[in-house]
Structure 1
Amino acid sequence: MQKISDMSRSDNSSGKKFSGRQGGSSRKKSYARGNAPIKRKNTALEKREDGMRLNKYIANAGICSRRDADIYIASGNVSVNGEVVTEMGYKVQLTDEVKFDGRSITPDKPEYFVLNKSKGVFVTGSVHKGGLTVMDIMAKASKSKLDPIGKLDTQTTGLLVFTNDGALAKKLANPKNGIRQIYHIKLDHALSQDDLEKIREGVYIESKKINVTDVSYVKDRPKTEVGMELTSTKPHIVQKIFKSLSYEILNLDRVVYGGLTKKDLPRGRFRTLTKQEVINLGNL
């Protein structure tokens, strides 16, 4: 486990059936050849022999496992080309429009990356023409549409996870789950011992108490440099904590996210997560 006091040492998802008596007659109804009733064909739900099984399509989209996908399909949560499908084993084509709970999904293979974001790089888009965004960087990683989990301010640096796995992204972004994060913070003036203790005890932001896991001075560095560990995913929460105590953050760097660290990942670079790292994130 990385100690926050040692951070300076590392930059580091109908037809009706007829049976029995009808009109008092038990005779079976028969039709002359060519006079049989025409059964309307639902072109959207026509069973096909080729294509990808719907449950696999959903699983590949990162929504859930195939077994859970069957449950959702049977419950009517899935539609293909505008028609609800509840048939097990139904196959879809890549050209079909598949929606899960009304949201379009694609069967891309789940991919996972982590980026060591540089300062001045936009996350959600640039207000300045030509400004570099994290999406510009991650376009080199995959042809799939990758989305960042959470956000970092333009001037904030450090770890940012990207994936096309909607289920994992939703889980990690849920404030109730609490993802472990460690920040290396540089302040405009030295943090007093009294204010350090106030942060440890929990400060009130917008009438709500914000508890941190730990906060301390960075070892062998000026008292303007602080390490903070917390699990809150509230926007700008670190900045708000110090602003409430009249400090301005000059540099904010996320050095740990979940079980991920910046070790061997230079600023501005990204890498693919290992299988074990993905499992670990899923278990958080």
Structure 2
Amino acid sequence: MSTQDNYDSGRGSKKPGKNARKKSMARGNAPLKNEGAPRKTGRQQDPTTRSKPKLKFDKDGKEIGRRPKPVVQVKKSNPADGIRLNKYIANSGVCSRREADTFIATGLVTVNGEIINEMGHKVQLGDDVRFDGRRLNPEPKTYVLLNKPKGFATTDSNSKGMTVMDLVANATTAKIKPFGRLGRNATGLLLFTNDDEFVQKFMKKGITRLFHVELDKNLKQEHLKKIREGFKIEDKEIQVEDISYVDKAPKSEVGLKMKHTGNSVIRMIFESLGYDVVRVDCVTLGPLTKKDLPRGRYRHLTENELNLFSMA
């Protein structure tokens, strides 16, 4: 059989012959990809889903065209609206809110002297709320000791310029007030508290305080003796616990121990005898001292210190 016969025989049987030319897969002959067929991925894609647009930024680095997230307005409670009476009672540590409702209904609670039976009644922190005759305080009892510097008025009024309240503003969230007074230019220990029972107790009996007083001239021995024995000024009896010269200091400096809670009485004493007070410094207040308490700083009283006060 000739070579041509072999070739024709291969074409007729649709099988390539021994010497048949293979189909080339060179460029131009490669099969075309099916552009309409979706890509096979691990997760089936939705052909209707649009791709995310590319982020664009302006010259300041801020995104352009991005929709801002809506701001959710949270309504804050207004302290001026007051707090519910049962919560006020519960915060004072007397009982739970549910029990407080029972006490309110039975007429055991008064607000500013009036019996309140209304459920949901609201009160202010400054109201006089009493349970079975005892005044309640919805805040924990707080006691703060300050070593007062010069230039601050002893008041909680905002109309007096710089006050001692500015110095203890970050000490506590409780509504504390100064107990006793020190003049604007006086220095030393000053106590703050929200404990009304404590204040009432020591307003009546007083707290012994030791003052370091500096005068414009030496204090005469006869005047020192007169102050120690007590005397009257404008029909007002002046009593001190003790007075003495300060050791290793001029005779113009004295230590004065007394229970008066006011500061003006010190100037009254010495001015009545012909002296001007140059400086007043409260060195001790009851069992408290200035140890480890720099000028202008404050600290909270310890449990042991409170026990010493209760023994007084």
* 1:138 corresponds to: 168
Partner of 2:274: 246
RMSD: 3.5
- The one of 227, 233, 236 equivalent to 1:205 is 233
Query: One-letter code of the match for 2:177?
Result: D
Secondary structure of 1:194's match? helix
Unpaired segments ≥5 residues, structure 2: 1-83, 95-102
Matched residue of 1:114: which SS? strand
**1:163 counterpart residue number:** 193
Q: Distance in 2 between matches of 1:278 and 1:154?
A: 27
Distance 1:259 1:115 in 2: 14
- CA 1:168–1:85: 2 relative to 1, 3 Å: farther
Match in the other structure for 1:78: 110
Once residues 158 and 274 of structure 2 are traced to their aligned partners in structure 1, the CA distance between those partners, rounded to angstroms, is 29
Judging changes above 3 Å, is the alpha-carbon distance between structure 1 residues 189 and 107 closer, same or farther for their aligned structure 2 residues?
same
Aligned runs of 1:63-142 on 2, under 5 Å? Answer: 76=108, 78-79=110-111, 83-84=115-116, 97=124, 99-100=128-129, 106-124=137-155, 125=157, 131-142=161-172
Task: Mark the structure with the bigger radius of gyration.
Answer: 2
Higher RCO (C-alpha 8 Å, min separation 6): 1
1:99: Cα distance to partner?
A: 3.7
SS at match of 2:260: coil
- CA 1:83–1:121 in 2, change beyond 3 Å: closer, same or farther? same
Q: Under a length normalisation based on structure 2, what TM-score does the superposition of the two structures give?
A: 0.60
Residue aligning to 2:265? 237
Question: Are 2:181 and 2:262, in contact at CA under 8 Å, matched by a contact in 1?
Answer: no
Which residue identity is paired with 1:256?
A: T
Partner of 2:295: 267
CA offset at residue 208 of structure 1? 2.6
Q: CA deviation at 1:245?
A: 0.5
Secondary structure at 1:179's aligned position in 2? Answer: coil
Q: For 2:205, what is the secondary structure of its paired residue?
A: coil
Q: Distance in 2 between matches of 1:168 and 1:216?
A: 30
Within a 5 Å distance, the mapping from 1:150-189 to structure 2 comes to: 150-172=180-202, 174=203, 176-189=204-217
Distance 1:59 1:279 in 2: 20
Unaligned runs of 5+ in 1: 1-47, 61-70
Residues 210 and 278 from structure 1, CA distance in 2 versus in 1: closer, same or farther, beyond 3 angstroms?
A: same
CA shift in 2, pair 1:143/1:189, >3 Å? same
CA offset digits 1:187-239 (Å, max 9, x no partner): 00000111111111112122132121110110000011100111223451111
CA distance in 2, matches of 1:53, 1:189: 55
